[in-house]
């Protein structure tokens, strides 16, 4: 084991924290994809490194068991893992898996609850509109929303929520939640991801309605009458994230589609993050092989 073992995690965490704090000059579609991919890959890199160190620490404690482990799961140079690194890695990995499992169970439970309620309007005066994914999902509305909005405003809400369902935005949000759960410093990434997902749906609604000012007014109207915390995490609510920024964006010019720069940046980011994540398990072997090859050439 050497410091290269932790390099992928450090780089992925740094990239995630940077993207969480620096707005991307891209259409919300591409911003959401970049943030969700980076967050998910960071989770994989952190857990992968933790499992990797835990397995190798186990091999250090029980050398006989190492003979039955696959070669890729062990350090290439058979370096023992010291207790000062192995014990914290094992404890943190177990804690991380438990916390993530608890979060997944909570997300699934909340989603099933929302699906069971999506078949009829919510009997509450609070204006609520939520996109509930899944075959038993749909657009969940409250009586308060139906009574408070005009037909044109209700059309805005439906177009917004349909965008969430059509593009499976709950998966993007899940990536942000999992990243923030495992690494609290990544909460800004989760918050920015929630914002750009809502902005994505806002732009789809504005394009479908053809009136950006109407979409902005509808968001503001619902937000002013809505209490926070009325919906669950795996769903996307109409007016819950970054209302001021969303309204300001809708009152301005439509963002560029980024038909060239968006895909190129997303592909480059995907290549970088997937490479760093894969390196979590293989970097030690790759460096050892490279050094041996260089020495052989000399």
Q: Tell me how far apart the alpha carbons of residues 262 and 258 are, in angstroms, rounded to a whole number.
A: 5
- Whether the full predicted model's pTM is greater than 0.75, yes or no, is yes
Give the residue carrying structure tokens 């919510």. Answer: 122
- Give whole-number Cα distances, 234 to 71, 94, 142, in Å: 39, 24, 18
Q: Tell me how far apart the alpha carbons of residues 86 and 149 are, in angstroms, rounded to a whole number.
A: 58
Q: What sign for the dihedral angle of Cα 261, 264, 267, 273?
A: negative
Q: Can you give the pLDDT at residue 239?
A: 63
Q: Which helix (H) or strand (E) holds 127?
A: none
Kindly report, residue by residue over 39-52, the tens digit of the pLDDT: 999 998 899 888 88
Nearest Cα to 186, choosing from 4, 48, 27, 35? Answer: 35
For the purposes of burial, counting CB atoms within 10 Å of the CB of 97, is it exposed (0-12), middle (13-18) or buried (19 or more)? Answer: middle
Q: What sign for the dihedral angle of Cα 194, 195, 196, 199?
A: positive
* Residue 88 pLDDT exceeds 80: yes
Q: Tell me how far apart the alpha carbons of residues 72 and 76 are, in angstroms, rounded to a whole number.
A: 8
Q: Which of the four pLDDT bands, split at 50, 70 and 90, describes residue 185?
A: very high
For the purposes of burial, counting CB atoms within 10 Å of the CB of 66, is it exposed (0-12), middle (13-18) or buried (19 or more)? Answer: middle
- Joined together, the tokens standing for residue 138 give 């749909």
Task: List, edge to edge, every strand of the sheet that includes 138-141.
Answer: 138-141, 129-132, 236-237
* Residue 27 pLDDT exceeds 90: yes
Kindly report, residue by residue over 140-183, the tens digit of the pLDDT: 888 989 999 999 999 999 999 999 999 999 999 999 999 999 99
Q: Tell me how far apart the alpha carbons of residues 201 and 167 are, in angstroms, rounded to a whole number.
A: 9
Q: What is the DSSP letter of 297?
A: H
Would you say 185 and 45 are in contact if contact means Cβ atoms under 8 Å apart? no
């Amino acid at each position: 084991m050497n410091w290269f073992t932790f390099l992928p995690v450090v780089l992925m965490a740094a990239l995630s924290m940077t993207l969480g704090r620096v707005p991307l000059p891209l259409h919300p579609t591409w911003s959401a994809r970049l943030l969700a991919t980076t967050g998910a890959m960071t989770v994989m890199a952190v857990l992968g490194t933790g499992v990797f160190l835990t397995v190798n620490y186990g091999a250090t404690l029980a050398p006989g068991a190492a003979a039955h482990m696959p070669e890729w799961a062990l350090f290439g140079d058979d370096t023992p893992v010291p207790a000062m690194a192995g014990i914290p890695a094992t404890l943190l990995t177990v804690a991380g898996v438990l916390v993530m499992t608890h979060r997944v169970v909570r997300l699934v439970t909340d989603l099933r609850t929302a699906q069971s309620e999506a078949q009829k309007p919510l009997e509450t005066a609070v204006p609520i509109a939520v996109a509930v994914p899944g075959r038993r999902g749909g657009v969940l509305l409250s009586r308060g929303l139906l009574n408070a909005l005009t037909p044109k405003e209700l059309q805005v809400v439906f177009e917004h929520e349909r965008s969430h369902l059509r593009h499976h935005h709950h998966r993007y949000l899940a990536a942000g939640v999992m990243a923030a759960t495992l690494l609290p410093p990544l909460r800004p990434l989760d918050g920015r991801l929630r914002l750009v997902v809502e902005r994505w749906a806002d732009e789809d609604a504005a394009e479908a309605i053809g009136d950006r000012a109407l979409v902005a007014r509808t968001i503001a109207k619902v937000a002013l009458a809505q209490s926070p915390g009325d919906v669950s995490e795996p769903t996307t609510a109409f007016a819950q994230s970054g209302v001021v920024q969303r309204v300001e964006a809708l009152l301005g010019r439509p963002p560029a589609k980024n038909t060239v720069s968006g895909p190129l940046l997303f592909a480059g980011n995907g290549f970088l993050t997937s490479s760093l994540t894969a390196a979590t398990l293989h970097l030690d072997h790759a460096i050892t092989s490279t050094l041996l090859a260089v020495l052989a050439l000399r």
